[in-house]
Every structure is written in C-alpha cells, then in structure tokens.
Structure 1
Amino acid sequence: MTEHSDSDRHNAKMAKKKAARDKIMATKTGEKGLVIVHTGKGKGKSSSAFGMIFRCIAHGMPCSVVQFIKGGMSTGERDLILSHFQDACAFHTMGEGFTWETQDKDRDIEMAQAAWVKAKELIRDPKMRMVLLDEINIALRYDYLDVNDVVAFLRDEKPEMTHVVLTGRNAKDELIELADLVTEMELIKHPFRSGIKAQQGVEF
C-alpha cells in the first residue's frame, strides 16, 4: 500500500465519519439548565467542576460556589476567585472541614443545613447561570441533608436555564436518577498510597 493510497483511505474514512457526525449534531438543538453530578473514588471531581466555573467566568456568565465540607484551608481556586473574580462568582465556604476533623456531628449538620439554605437562595436567583455545590454528596452521604428534599428542590424549583453541579463521593441513587449528566471518577492509581501527601497545585 502506497503512502498516497493510505492517505486517501484515511481522508475518505474521516469524511464519512464527519458526515455521520454532522447528521447527528443537526438533531441536537435543545438547551436547558443541567443537573450535573461528579462522583466516584477518583480525583478530579471538584477540579472538573471548577473548570466549568472558570468557563462561566470567561463567558461573562454569573455563577456561584457553595462549599459544604471544605473549610479553613486555603485553596488555589477559592483564592483566585476571591482575589480576581468576586464580581463574576459569589463564593461561600460554609463547611468547617471533613467530619473526622470537626468531630462534632451536630455542628456539621448545622453547617450543612446553612449551606443548603444559601445554595437554594443562589439557585433561585434568575441571574445565576451555574451554581456549584462542592462536596454536597458528602453531606448527603452522612444524612446531614435529606436527599429527597434536595432532589425535590432541583426538580421543582431550579430555574429552567440554571446549571447546578454537585460533587463528592458516593452520590445518592436518587440524585443520579434525577441528573442530566453523571460522571464517575474511577481511581486507578494514587500517589497517597506511595506515601505522597496532598500537594499545592494538584489537590489545593
């Protein structure tokens, strides 16, 4: 087979693929505000969600973040938003750390409930185009929030064009059923298992 004929075959194959793809894409004309869930044991759930937040900021789309678990520790994304993009993105750190750090269930429940009140306020705001509920799945896993209340609110009260992103391990089945887009981050390999600590620029 000559190099020329191989290139021709490739070009013909790609042209056929493009035609098929264009036909499919022509049928996808709808728009709606999505409920998006990032879950799983692998890394990247919040990182991916913040990528979407920064896309919104870049497009001039008002957005907001409510952090349900992460508390006092400084993170790059929070510091960047608070120092440069406060007008574009409302940022609310409502948690006080992971449950094994706080060791106060009543306080954890109180803070999660307050975060959910703030989240509902932001989601109801018709100006908001995206609201990130960071680590809400952890609060739901420990029953600090009632998953049925969360699902009912997102189903019945979320404005039609508002995107809501929910992150954290062990997403509840009810939330997965409601969501438009669900991604499970699969853990294949992690440096923590080799004695490497969380590092700036990677984890925070």
Structure 2
Amino acid sequence: MQIETPPTDKPYDKSEGERRGLVIVNTGDGKGKSTAAFGLAIRAHGRGKPVKIFQFMKVPTARFGEHRTFEKLGLPIVGLGDGFSWKSKDLERSAQIARNGWQKARAALLSGEYFLVVLDEVTYPLVYGWVPLEEVLQALRERPSHVHVVLTGRRCPQEIIDMADTVTEMTLVKHAFDQGIPAQRGIED
C-alpha cells in the first residue's frame, strides 16, 4: 500500500447544472448492487422523501432481512417476481408475473408520487425477454423530471447504460461461495 497525502484543496468545482431526477444503474458480477440501492432508499427516506422499492425476482411473500427492516422503517418494498428461474415449474408463468410486476413498477415510476423508485433485479426479466426493453426505456424517458430511479442486476442492457446518469459496475474480485462457503443469513439475504 502506498501512503498518500490528503488533499488540502477541494478537488472539484461546484456543478452549475440543474437538479433533476437521475437514472442510476448498479450492475456487474460483484456483490453490492441491491445493497447500494437500498442504501440510497434509506438515505432518501431519512430525508422524508417518498420511496418505493420493487424487487423483480423476489416473491411477494419474501421475508429477507431487507423486508423486515424496511417494514420497521415504513419503507414500502414489493416483491414482483416468482423467485429463482431455476426453481420455476412454469417459466411462462414466471414471465407473466414479471410483465404484471413491470406494469405496477411502471405506474409508480410515472405517477410522480415518489422521489426515488428502486427497480431491484430488473435486468433479469429484461435479458430473459420477459419485459420489453423499449417499454422500460420509454418509462425512464417519460417519468416526471423530479423522479430518481435506480436499476440493479447483472448484464444491464447497453441501452439503459447509455441513457443513465450514473453507472456503477460492481466487479467480482473474490467471493466466499467460490471457496465452498454457503450464503450467510444477514449478509446475502
């Protein structure tokens, strides 16, 4: 490790641009995509801003750690999915559930009621062809100008990356699972 001298001058000038709703993407094979989105949701909620979280792969009855916490905080989180695709007995049913879920998320995004809308794991129904990419792009373009949106998931379509204001790619360097260590409750749920 190289020791650095801390900066004593501000490393940037204040932006003169307009304040507006941002499109933020958390993608890549590394961990932390949803966690980062949930952190933004908590930050906005803590400022008294209305937030809605949609999870495209979690079932509506999911009770993971984030669901329990958000319930205590009064932060709405909605499971729109059918669970892991490899556990599905009917992928067409899973696709229809995703399409129905997208309509709910789209309505919230376009309603203007929310400061922040999180579309957690939305990339999966997109890359599976279950939700039309053009519909998502159109909703992102047509949302009210004050609405921020975070999209998460691996393999985010390039078209969304191109329109986004901020894109973070989580890079996998090392993962416990690859060393034979199972998922840990409270860390990966």
Compute the TM-score of the two structures, normalised by the length of structure 2. Answer: 0.91
Q: 1:73-131: CA deviations, max 9, x gaps?
A: 4211111112x233xx3221111201111142111111111111111111122230000
Structure 1 position 138 matched with structure 2 position 127:
no
Counterparts in 2 of 1:164 and 1:27: CA distance versus 1, 3 Å: closer
Amino acid at match of 1:54: I
Which has the larger helix fraction? Answer: 1
The reply on whether 1:49 has 2:22 as its aligned counterpart is no
The correspondence of residues 1-204 of structure 1 with structure 2, limited to 5 A, is 14-15=7-8, 17-18=9-10, 21=11, 24-71=12-59, 72-82=61-71, 84-86=72-74, 89-155=75-141, 157-204=142-189
State how far apart, in whole Å, the 2-side matches of 1:134 and 1:162 are: 16
Identity in percent: 38
State the distance in 1 between where 2:76 and 2:69 align.
Answer: 12
Number of aligned residue pairs: give it: 184
Q: Which has the larger radius of gyration?
A: 1
What secondary structure does 1:144 align onto?
coil
- Unpaired runs of 5+ residues, structure 1, are 1-9
Aligned equivalents of 1:121, 1:199: Cα separation in 2: 35
Q: Give the root-mean-square deviation of aligned CA atoms.
A: 1.6
Change (3 A) 1:197 1:73: farther
Do the aligned partners of residues 129 and 120 (structure 1) sit closer, same or farther apart at CA in structure 2, a change above 3 Å counting? same
Whether contact under 8 Å (1:148, 1:174) holds in the other structure is: no
Given that 2:54 and 2:105 are in contact with CA atoms closer than 8 Å, whether structure 1 keeps it comes out as yes
Residue number in structure 2 paired with 1:7: none
Structure 2: runs of 5 or more not aligned: none
Q: Give 1:187 shift.
A: 0.3
